[in-house]
Structure 1
Amino acid sequence: MARVGKRRITVTGTGYLGATHAACMAELGFEVLGMDVDAEKIGVLASGRSPFFEPGLNEVLARNVASGRLRFTTDPAELAAFGGEGAVHFLCVNTPQSAGSDAADLRYLNLAVEALAPHLTESCVVVGKSTVPVGTAAAVADRLRELAPAAVETAWNPEFLREGHAVADTLHPDRLVVGVESAEAEQALRDVYASLLEDGVPFLTMDLATSELVKTAANSFLATKISFINAMAEVCEAADADVVLLAQALRLDPRIGTRFLEPGLGFGGACLPKDIRGFAARSRELGVGQALAFLHEVDGINLRRRARAVTLARELCGGSLEGRRVAVWGAAFKPDSDDVRDSPSLAVADALAGEGALVTVYDPEARDNAAKYLPHLGFADSAREAARDAQVVVHATEWPEFREIDPVEAAGWVAQPHLVDCRNTLDLAAWRGAGWTVAALGRPAAAR
């Protein structure tokens, strides 16, 4: 493949990953064309706005749409015409969990390849960024060779974005992982990320299969670490010990590290739950299911924390939630996001309602998404409104504004000052001092 000057970039799929990647590639100075079959979403992006909440993304989108470096389309044929020779075409489509199975659903990825490949009449590189089961990249490469008129190289460049930090994670990543089959594909990605490499970002080159495993292995390790501290919370509750103090001690061990030892309601979102399930499913297909059998328990620990939060709320209500008014502070799966996919907070709210509670939810950013997902719940415009006449308040997502609430003032909002802290980020001594009866995951009775 001939070298070109400034390579043009296209991005297929403009969800969370694709919209962020397209905007950030334009921010690095490339001409970028994003494509999606969702015309409404494309219209929003073309106006320089994000269809979802992500700190800093609107500013990057607006700046680069206004400059002309970033455009959007619904036509896959336009991608190939725009890119020309030497283009780098990124595939950023969603790979959700299959209905009725733990395996990944690759239909959107396959559709994207089928739509793009016939239009690739000039040599280029197609780069997958979606999280996929190991072996998918090789299958994509085979399909591109079958369908594309020109010589097309395939590479895989997994993403490691954290919702709430996606722009920074794209423009200042901790590492770049690329799976390639040729020197041409590697050079194309070195060209794309040249400015990041100049800043010293590690660039790890490997085969396609290993690059796919890096992403799923990283997410599985992270999920395991989160579930480990929550397993310790279960033990602490049984032993009347304090998981918060335990976590503080563990963080001082350099072999363990300081991050992701926050005991609480566990992980959720669009990545970790479906990725660990998909990884385990793929291991079974490869005949090594026993190697990842522990991920089933990692998943189980995570889900048990949700059930335990409901139990604590029920206990504070005297053993029954029927007819009780419950305020749930938080619906997003994490702060700085409006994503409610597999949200532990929203799962708890739904479970409370399932036991007959009258649930009102407040979230600074995720209210609309939560209301679409669970319209039978009540929704409020503020923490105070949600807590009005409540008999128990459940702190479910650790938004900073909840830590700033004055517990003395909040006691005047509710019918009964009962609090369940699912995230262990509130000052429980201050809440107890204001007259609240407090329960918290993994804390001893004295600390509750």
Structure 2
Amino acid sequence: MSLDIYNEWDNLKDRYHKEYVQNEISYQTWITPLVLKEVSDYVLYVEAPDDTIYEIVMAKYQFSLQTFIREITEDINYKVVILKKGEYESKSPKEDIKPTTGNINKKYTFDTFVKGDNNSLAFNAALSVAENPATQYNPLFLYGNSGLGKTHLMYSIKNYINEYRPELKVLYVTSEEFTTDLIESIRLSKDSNKGFREKYRTIDILLIDDIQFILNKGTSQEEFFHTFNALYTSGKQIVISSDKPPKELTAFDDRMISRFEQGLTVDIQPPTYETRMAILKNKAELEGYQNSMFHISDEVFDYIATHIKSNIRELEGALTKIVAYSKLAKNNNIELEFAKTVLQEFISSNSKREITPELIVDIVASHFNLTVEELYSADKSKRLARPRFIAMYLCKTMTDVSYSSIANALHRKDHTTVINGVKNITNDIQTDPNLASTINILKKKISPV
């Protein structure tokens, strides 16, 4: 779709408010002040006016804001970069992307990573790779659920090499950035994708995050296969992260999975209570939350660590939210009751909800601006058939219910309609990147945790 994001920024924030941030106070406090500084090379550079708003947006809203932007611009995978006031520098005219550049947060280092029983092997392997690239663990494959520290370790590798081995070229990208770079290179280059290959195959270390999002069995996967081979045979280091182990990446060819497994594969588990407490104390110390003028009681740390167990990003985000609200309330002594009040909505909203066909149908209908009744109807027009098939596909892949139960949930008389619908989407998703993007967005809406 064609959309002037820069000039429509205020209207887009209003739409984001209606779809993602229903609380009016939260919207006015954290989202309204955000200023879009520039849109360049499919990146939105958004400035937060102060550190408190920056921390809250990064902890609670950055992911959903990026999801929203990608949802309304289905033809392009835009990236949203949140900047502190004063960090922005114009990106125009377009600059060549050098392998050593990138939006890497300097705070993410091995020194700031909290090591525990759940992640010690991953930490040690990442440090070994940073100290001696391509000598022992190549590729290094890190996997685990979202928010457990995979990206922190990848940033740590890059920051370490930039500091101690500046002669080496290191590139960190997400799989979505990899795909976007490839698509743009093919679209703009007269000499096939020569520019893309020069960028990705002339480096010493490639760090690619969330490999599971590379498009299924398409040009992106084929190009990554050849990029992997070119780097590996040249003795270059490759580090990959995913939300699941190689064997469960069913969208990838066996030849690619075998290459993932030829190095070291490391699982990162959710942190223990002791590690969660250490993460919170470390965050408070690094951010200056504990000093002679500001105090957080141990009961507050215990409350957060007890109620948020599986995601470090949410764990730290909860602490940031408490501190932000305490500053607004001019409360320099944070006690348990204050924390409970502030986190009441945060903790309850992050409780994992049951995924049912009814929930999926409701979200799919809302996504396509349809009513549930329209999806239930007998109307077979393309406007309704496609979303209906998508709902069937998501019901089958995200729940354990039978075809017959899905048919009942969508008011279909015959479960063979569901079988055909699931088959239709399963086939099309292999060749249609826009459909693949839509499915990913819907999955995140259905199961945001």
TM-score range, shorter chain: under 0.3
State the TM-score, normalized to the length of structure 1. 0.26
Q: Which of structures 1 and 2 has the larger relative contact order (alpha carbons within 8 angstroms, sep 6+)? A: 2
Question: If each structure's helix is expressed as a fraction of its own residues, which one has the higher value?
Answer: 2
